[in-house]
């Protein structure tokens, strides 16, 4: 099952425990404390920063004519819970999560917050596992998703990219 996720994200882990930790929700960790399970919350913390750096670097390079304020607004839209849970859905991340009994009953695999948090944890796990290549490996997963999100916003009819981005931010 883990191999299926690795295939979906295009990355094979050297340290599989990082991936397992990224997939472990706090509800599961709390119920399985005796077995040494730890939640993905620390990875989520790091993943938030890795996400921000990768997206910021991409936007800075790809859109040299956008002002700082516009870049900031666009980044915020690309790293929000809605976008991250959408990215998680595209790789079927919810199928691989370890959830506690209550979270499972409450449809945690479908909850935006759970999916977004797990996606950030996954990015951190890739970053740590890849070592010096961490940002590049995260970008290989993340940037196609980001580009698709931007182009989806652009499919609404304008040919001027700055206008498209402003419309996207206003959504």
- Catalytic (active-site) positions: 48, 120
> Cα(42)–Cα(49) distance, rounded to whole angstroms?
12
> Cα(89)–Cα(95) distance, rounded to whole angstroms?
9
> Cα(58)–Cα(99) distance, rounded to whole angstroms?
33
Q: Is 40 helix (H, G, I), strand (E, B) or coil?
A: coil
Give phi and psi for 24, each to the nearest 5.
-95, 105
Q: Do residues 145 and 90 touch, judged by C-beta distance below 8 A?
A: yes
Within 13 Å, how many C-alpha atoms sit on residue 14's CB side?
Answer: 8
What does the block give as tokens for 137? 């490996």
């Amino acid at each position: 099952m883990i191999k299926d996720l690795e295939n979906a994200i295009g990355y094979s882990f050297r340290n599989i425990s990082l991936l397992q930790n990224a997939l472990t929700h706090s509800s599961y960790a709390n119920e399985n404390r005796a077995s040494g399970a730890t939640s993905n919350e620390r990875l989520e913390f790091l993943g938030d920063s890795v996400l921000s750096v990768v997206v910021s670097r991409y936007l800075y390079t790809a859109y040299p004519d956008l002002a700082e304020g516009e870049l900031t607004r666009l980044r915020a839209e690309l790293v929000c819970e809605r976008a991250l849970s959408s990215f998680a859905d595209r790789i079927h991340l919810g199928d691989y999560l370890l959830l506690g009994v209550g979270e499972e009953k409450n449809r945690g695999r479908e909850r935006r917050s759970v999916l977004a948090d797990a996606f950030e944890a996954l990015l951190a796990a890739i970053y740590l596992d890849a070592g010096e290549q961490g940002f590049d490996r995260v970008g290989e997963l993340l940037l196609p998703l980001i580009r698709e999100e931007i182009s989806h916003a652009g499919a609404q009819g304008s040919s001027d990219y700055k206008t498209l981005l402003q419309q996207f931010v206003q959504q």
